[in-house]
Amino acid sequence: MQVTVSINGQEYTRDIEPRLLLVHFLRDELGLTGTHWGCDTSNCGTCVVLMNGEPAKSCTVLAATAERYEITTVEGLERDGVLDPVQEGFREKHGLQCGFCTSGMLLTARALLDRNPDPTDDEIRVAISGQICRCTGYATIVRSIRWAAEHPDG
């Protein structure tokens, strides 16, 4: 079947198998490898993208159903060479170690800050609770998102 999907402000049309997952469409069809594929059970959150601004685990979404959404991947956070404040926060406060969960964390944080520009640390923890980081213990991730909230212009 043919699908046309809007990703990071650009439309892509491809012939795909109806059962193709969005994570594989992004990575294999479009080469957008910032979206990671981790657990294959929708538990880890590394594959999170934004669908109309809301976090979604792309390993649970069929690419064919994504046609009616604006998809944002981690590649879409940076604009004209300028990092999103969330990306800056992760850099400033060392919110990553191995980096595998980072793209999903960044997108989840962006959605949180779009809804709530000044979340509490508990609200940040709740927002990222659907994602697993095996390296950091989450303290630096929370500090990174807090930094982004305090520096909305980067």
Does the pLDDT value for residue 39 go beyond 90? no
Cα–chain center distance at 9:
15
CATH class of the domain comprising 85-150: mainly alpha
Domain ranges of the chain: 2-76, 85-150
pLDDT grade for 134, boundaries at 50, 70 and 90: confident
- Range in 14-18, 93-97, 132-136, 138-142 with the lowest mean pLDDT: 132-136
Per-residue pLDDT reduced to its tens digit, 8-32: 999 999 999 999 999 999 999 999 9
DSSP code string of 61-107: SBGGGGGGSEEE-GGGT-BTTB--HHHHHHHHTT--SS-TTHHHHHH
Nearest alpha carbon to residue 14 among 26, 29, 27, 24: 29
**What's the pLDDT at 94?**
94
Q: In this structure, which topology does domain 2-76 adopt according to CATH?
A: Ubiquitin-like (UB roll) (3.10.20)
State residue 154's pLDDT score: 80
